[in-house]
Structure 1
Amino acid sequence: MSAETSFLTPLREQPLKQLNRIAKRPPIDIEFQDLTYSVPDSSCKSGWRQLLKSVNGVFRSGELTAIMGPSGAGKSTLLNILAGYVTAGVKGSIRINNRPREMKLFNKLSSYIMQEDLIQPRLSVRESMTIAASLKLSSSIKKEEKIAVIDEVINLLGLETCYDTRSEHLSGGQRRRLSVALELVNNPPVIFLDEPTTGLDNVAIKQCIELLQKITRLDRTVICTIHQPPASLFQNFDQVYVMANGYCVYNGSPNRLVQFMSGAGCLCPPTSTPADFSEHSLLIELVQTNPENINVLQTYAQNGKCNMKDKRVKTAQYVTDSLNLNEIYQVTTQSGSTPQDIIFPTSFWTQFCILVCRMLLQMKRNQTMLNIQFFHHLISGLLIVPLEVKLLRREYFNRWYSLKAYYVALNVAALPLLLVNVLMFAVIVYTLVDLPWEPERFMWFCLLGIAISLCSQGLGYAIGAAFNILNGSVVAPHILALILALAVYGMGYKGGIEPLMKALMSTSYLRFGLVGLSGVLFNDRKPMDCNQIYCHYRNPDLIIRDMGMTDAKPPNQFIVVMGFMFFFRLISYLSLKYSMTSELRNTIVHYAAKIVRQKET
């Protein structure tokens, strides 16, 4: 049987025994009441557009819940709010096991698997799972126990046959399973999935939903958005939450949908199945073609308060109300836990070491990147723009590691290759231009080359963090063209550069690098050899003077370039933090829109 068809393996009688032993988690129910969410919209009279309109519901542990509805109904918005990915502009209450949700603790108990299969490239399934376990399980847990947990999760998801296969060689179904496996490794009681069946064929969709069913039977709360499940799989969900235009138009079991629709006065044709009636044709057509139907259905469903779900006996009980919040949101079985343990299970140093090792391994296996950088440094300097912001967003939101640990590891992992390439470039250039072999002069030539490269790398990080790839590819050349133009402006003007242009030139780190390198080339040199009758620039001091670089002292220029380097890296870190922290980003946008609206009124 192929790896693609053997999507699942039967659960053992005691599933995830090792994981449940070392990473105990309480079953969690999520309840939300009068949940409202608005975004700025100038086309609306009020200046705000409501995406959610006082919706209600309860999603319980041990159940697979599907949030359905037509495009624009508010499915992903509701999922993002329940997961904590969006918080600004949200009104209403969200409770966890009858207690107010506390985000820092809830983030440790939930995982959000986004629509795209965001998996680290150039790592095998075994390596990816080992790194995930090292980051997401406490450092106090023994290596042998972590390996046992990895084996349990791999066996549960049927990934044994591709244990040593690299992620770029996995099929679509295997990549989706690996995405789930990476988040299961720390035993989260709540799992959110955004459109998990997108891009899969009917067989893979069936296998994916069956996998989610098996996970819920481990007393997990699994909530997913789904657009069009096959009619044959509609009954596989324990609860469906149908949305339209920001309202809940049905909340309950799939097999009670016909009864609900009949009670609301919308009869289902006898030839239609409940799945056809809800998702494939009739319900979508009803809510899309006539807004009155939305009002009728959401009123009958009490906007989600009425839950027409079959009663069932829960096999496990969650923590009782008598316990305090820390006990309800228990994140570790170890004693002496600190607030940092609640946010991240491992220390900054542990995260840093693991991430550096991962990045160096990926860099070693990325032959294309190594070759490009090698030949690129033979010709010119270095500019690196990070391409894994999406992947970082997933791992950071699911609390694999802190942003500081990732960012420091990223800079440190890139440093060895940068130093080797820059020194290679410096030796080649220094030799070809026949500069005097003086230790101090050569040292400053190398230091300035390294400083310029680090500064260019920092600028690349800043652009990559602030813009997506498409916008960054447009912004970067324009910024570099301006920096380069300011760097060479005024050559031949001696000291006659205008004050305004001097101020503008001081914003170009390449200008300081160029002045420093010119000082290395021409300061304190003997008259240069010349076989002509008259050589005006035989004296190096004249060159420095006419280029307007009389202050070309390499140490001073080196300090300024390094200052630019730290500035660019600070900007890139803040940009990453802004893009990673959806709460901060949404809060800024929300309050900015409020201020604008208040000024207009």
Structure 2
Amino acid sequence: MHKNEIMEKQVALRYNQPLQQLNRIAKRPPVDIEFQDLTYSVRDSYTGSDWRQLLKSINGKFRSGELTAIMGPSGAGKSTLLNILAGYVTAGVKGSIKINDRPRTMKVFKKMCAYIMQEDIVQPRLTVKEAMMYAAKLKLGSEIRQCEREAVVLEVIQLLGLEKCYETRSEFLSGGQRKRLSVALELVNNPPVIFLDEPTSGLDNFAIKQCMELLHKITQLDRTVICTIHQPPASLFQNFDQVYVLANGYCVYNGSPASLVPFLARANFPCPSTYTPADYIIEIVQSNPDTISSLNNIIQNGKINMMIKDKKELVMSSVFGSDICEIYNDPIQTGCNNDQDILFPVSVWSQLAILLSRTFLQMRRNHSVITIQVLHHFASGILIGTIFFQLGNDASQTLSMFKYILSVNVFFMYTYVMVPVLIFPLEVKLMEREYFNRWYSLKAYYFCFTLASLPLMILCSVMFLTLVYILSDQPMDMNRFLWFSAMGISVGLTSQGLGYLIGSFFNITNGSVVGSSALAPLLALACYGMGYKSGIEPFMKVIMCFSYLRFGVVGFSATLFSKREPLNCNDLYCHYRNPELLLKDMGMQGEDYKMQFYIILGYMLLFRVLAYCGLKYRLTSELSNKIVYFAAKIVRQKE
């Protein structure tokens, strides 16, 4: 049957049998999230000593099959609560969080939930179909057949109304379509809980309506959908099943939207007819701090849930009553059958293969970047080769060869340090959502972008090195040329590793400053001592070892000048006709270019390991928050 006919047939069955294939392949039970006496404290960044409570012993329960909105004014703690419930923040949190009346286990819970962040960042240069298929390969496991993955992808796409843009690349999607694609990518493995941070921000009214319809469709599948929203319009406010309002870290309302007006009237804050209930409660808690205490006492900081019974009577029921959903004793409660499933559905090597396939497809379509890199290497090779044209075998121009060697080093240094510094933070931002939602491990991603950049980098580098080698009239010795190329590529890879290291710790603005500032002393140390013979101070020799460019300069010099026939001399006397004498005067006599190459590779490994550690620290908020929290706790105890 043709693919379009399959899609049309499934569209007709979409509402009668939603996600039938997905529920069969990745069945998940409903999940209720309950929290009691939840408190979150952070150290004041201004005073450095005081602790500030962002959440203050709040309570609540968010049920499956309901669309819950966390509301409140700016700074109320909406995103903080969402981040804590999603497991994005764990350090500094006190109180209990239960899943189906059992204590939450983070390793298990992360497998059960999806967190869709405010920015609709999706992988570029992929069609909706391709993005969904890669998500299915990563999230459904290797035991699922290809035809089953395709069936699941079609079901999810149809549920979210993305059929018309099935073959459209992500950069050409509208804001609403991109939001739906973000949700579709996370629905592929049928998560029981979905968190959304400000899902309606940046959307027009029509797109907001589509977004809300989408979220309601998801809740009808017994999913728990929780989102933050600032001040929804009246038409949007009534679409929520439950509203949880925060103010200054306290819960001031917990219940259905229809119950809010009667609740405010009972609390002696009647809502004027000219106000929408959502706007009014946010306005009164902002204008009068005493209102927060009054509303908080009535709602008992979230322990009470307000609802309308039979559309007439306002009922106050305990959140922690007997209506808690049943406790699942089967391991399927978690969606995991063993420890490997808890980590990732597919192995690290399978993740790497899938990510490499996706990355190479994106790179192949990114024609502008490929063209710029090729032209940059070609033009730079022609320029440097022309500046030092046919000077490589001229004994009267031997000192110019050091400028030539420095030029080659500087080219590789700036080209491969600054590109990752400027691009890598954007790559991390793209990857953050996928990594937190457990698509793949950080190791697989790190190996992927390390390996994916090698083919183009090596090809362009060899082109550049061939041009500068031939145009400068270096010896036509294959072994010498191969080591010259190996030295240049190793300096480029090490510079790239340094760029990744800087990019993993800093954003683009700060990284560009740090990168350019770090390169100046590295280059100065690389040139230090030229002409000193063996008279370089011992402590400076130690300091010079901290510059990998120094080993590049020595390695290039030894490669070009060691064990070489006397150079051509067109003058009456050429002092450096014997290249070994030049190496002696430059303090490089006896240096082995192979050893320089191995040391540069050592720096490359060091920079890449440190970049991995920096990336893990930056992405794993649990780790970084815990380090900051425990460090502050130790300081506080000493005080």
TM-score by length of 2: 0.88
Alpha carbons of structure 1 residues 42 and 144: separation in structure 2 relative to 1, 3 Å? closer
Instruction: Name the aligned partner's letter for residue 174 of structure 2.
Output: S
Partner in structure 1 of residue 513 of structure 2? 474
Aligned-partner Cα distance in 1 for 2:48–2:37? 23
Aligned-partner Cα distance in 1 for 2:436–2:42? 22
Alignment of 1:323-338 (within 5 A): 323=329, 326-331=331-336, 337-338=337-338
Partner in structure 2 of residue 5 of structure 1? none
Match of 2:77 among 74, 77, 81: 74
**Is contact 1:9-1:158 (8 Å) kept?**
no
Which moves more between the two structures, 179-188 or 497-506? 497-506
**Is contact 2:14-2:155 (8 Å) kept?**
no
Match of 1:27 among 27, 30, 36: 30
Aligned-partner Cα distance in 1 for 2:45–2:504? 28
Match of 1:430 among 469, 493, 505: 469
Say yes or no: does 1:493 pair with 2:543: no
Match of 1:107 among 87, 107, 110: 110
Partner in structure 2 of residue 307 of structure 1? 305
Partner in structure 1 of residue 495 of structure 2? 456
**Is contact 1:9-1:157 (8 Å) kept?**
no
Match of 1:398 among 431, 434, 437: 437
Match of 1:546 among 585, 595, 620: 585
Partner in structure 1 of residue 504 of structure 2? 465
**Is contact 1:110-1:398 (8 Å) kept?**
yes
Instruction: Name the aligned partner's letter for residue 329 of structure 2.
Output: L
Partner in structure 2 of residue 223 of structure 1? 226
Shift of 1:244: 0.4
Shift of 1:201: 1.1
Q: Secondary structure of 2:453's match?
A: helix
Alignment of 1:148-167 (within 5 A): 148-167=151-170
Which moves more between the two structures, 19-28 or 471-480? 471-480
Match of 1:506 among 524, 545, 551: 545
Partner in structure 2 of residue 334 of structure 1? none
1:137-170 C-alpha deviation (Å, 9 max, x unpaired):
0110110010000000110111111111111111
Shift of 1:44: 6.3
Q: Secondary structure of 1:257's match?
A: helix
Partner in structure 2 of residue 239 of structure 1? 242
Partner in structure 2 of residue 291 of structure 1? 289
Alpha carbons of structure 1 residues 308 and 541: separation in structure 2 relative to 1, 3 Å? same
**Is contact 1:26-1:319 (8 Å) kept?**
no
Shift of 1:183: 0.4
Match of 1:53 among 31, 53, 56: 56
Aligned-partner Cα distance in 1 for 2:223–2:76? 26
Aligned-partner Cα distance in 2 for 1:254–1:588? 40
Shift of 1:522: 0.6
Aligned-partner Cα distance in 2 for 1:511–1:43? 42
1:577-600 C-alpha deviation (Å, 9 max, x unpaired):
11111100100111111222233x
**Is contact 1:42-1:48 (8 Å) kept?**
no
Alignment of 1:241-320 (within 5 A): 241-269=244-272, 271-272=273-274, 276-278=276-278, 280=279, 282-310=280-308, 320=326
Q: Secondary structure of 1:497's match?
A: coil
1:422-478 C-alpha deviation (Å, 9 max, x unpaired):
111121121112121222211211111111111111111111111111111111111
Partner in structure 2 of residue 40 of structure 1? 43
Q: Secondary structure of 1:51's match?
A: strand
**Is contact 2:141-2:346 (8 Å) kept?**
yes
**Is contact 1:39-1:49 (8 Å) kept?**
yes
Instruction: Name the aligned partner's letter for residue 252 of structure 2.
Output: V
Aligned-partner Cα distance in 2 for 1:311–1:224? 25
**Is contact 2:111-2:335 (8 Å) kept?**
no
1:199-218 C-alpha deviation (Å, 9 max, x unpaired):
01122112111211111111
Partner in structure 1 of residue 327 of structure 2? 321
Shift of 1:532: 0.6
Shift of 1:309: 3.1
TM-score by length of 1: 0.93
1:330-375 C-alpha deviation (Å, 9 max, x unpaired):
23xxxxx431222100111110100011111111111121122212
Alpha carbons of structure 1 residues 14 and 550: separation in structure 2 relative to 1, 3 Å? same
Alignment of 1:368-379 (within 5 A): 368-378=368-378, 379=380
Shift of 1:310: 4.8
Alpha carbons of structure 1 residues 581 and 164: separation in structure 2 relative to 1, 3 Å? same
**Is contact 1:261-1:268 (8 Å) kept?**
yes
Shift of 1:320: 3.6
1:213-244 C-alpha deviation (Å, 9 max, x unpaired):
11111111000000121111211000000000
Instruction: Name the aligned partner's letter for residue 296 of structure 2.
Output: Q
Q: Secondary structure of 1:18's match?
A: helix
**Is contact 1:487-1:511 (8 Å) kept?**
yes
Partner in structure 2 of residue 4 of structure 1? none
Partner in structure 2 of residue 529 of structure 1? 568
> What RMSD over aligned residues (CA atoms) do the two structures have, in Å?
1.8
Q: Secondary structure of 2:305's match?
A: coil
**Is contact 1:30-1:96 (8 Å) kept?**
yes
Instruction: Name the aligned partner's letter for residue 509 of structure 1.
Output: Y
Q: Secondary structure of 1:548's match?
A: coil
Q: Secondary structure of 1:236's match?
A: coil
Say yes or no: does 1:135 pair with 2:133: no
Aligned-partner Cα distance in 1 for 2:139–2:281? 42
Alpha carbons of structure 1 residues 419 and 292: separation in structure 2 relative to 1, 3 Å? same
Shift of 1:322: 5.8
Q: Secondary structure of 1:267's match?
A: coil
Instruction: Name the aligned partner's letter for residue 301 of structure 1.
Output: I
Which moves more between the two structures, 143-152 or 259-268? 259-268
Aligned-partner Cα distance in 2 for 1:310–1:569? 59
1:247-294 C-alpha deviation (Å, 9 max, x unpaired):
11000000000111122221222x146xx122x2x2222111221111
Number of residue equivalences:
578
Alpha carbons of structure 1 residues 111 and 311: separation in structure 2 relative to 1, 3 Å? farther
Alignment of 1:436-451 (within 5 A): 436-451=475-490
**Is contact 1:483-1:508 (8 Å) kept?**
yes
Aligned-partner Cα distance in 2 for 1:438–1:146? 55
Shift of 1:377: 2.3
Aligned-partner Cα distance in 1 for 2:132–2:590? 55
Aligned-partner Cα distance in 1 for 2:13–2:296? 40
Aligned-partner Cα distance in 2 for 1:585–1:92? 21
1:73-104 C-alpha deviation (Å, 9 max, x unpaired):
00000000000000000000000000001111
Partner in structure 1 of residue 101 of structure 2? 98
Q: Secondary structure of 1:237's match?
A: coil
Instruction: Name the aligned partner's letter for residue 632 of structure 2.
Output: A
Partner in structure 2 of residue 3 of structure 1? none
Instruction: Name the aligned partner's letter for residue 222 of structure 2.
Output: D
**Is contact 1:26-1:318 (8 Å) kept?**
no
Instruction: Name the aligned partner's letter for residue 547 of structure 2.
Output: S
Alpha carbons of structure 1 residues 79 and 329: separation in structure 2 relative to 1, 3 Å? same
Alpha carbons of structure 1 residues 492 and 470: separation in structure 2 relative to 1, 3 Å? same
**Is contact 2:118-2:198 (8 Å) kept?**
yes
Instruction: Name the aligned partner's letter for residue 355 of structure 1.
Output: L
Alpha carbons of structure 1 residues 474 and 311: separation in structure 2 relative to 1, 3 Å? farther
Aligned-partner Cα distance in 1 for 2:338–2:488? 44
Instruction: Name the aligned partner's letter for residue 479 of structure 2.
Output: E
Match of 2:631 among 563, 571, 592: 592
Aligned-partner Cα distance in 1 for 2:88–2:265? 37
Which moves more between the two structures, 89-98 or 488-497? 488-497
Aligned-partner Cα distance in 2 for 1:463–1:471? 9
Aligned-partner Cα distance in 1 for 2:175–2:435? 23
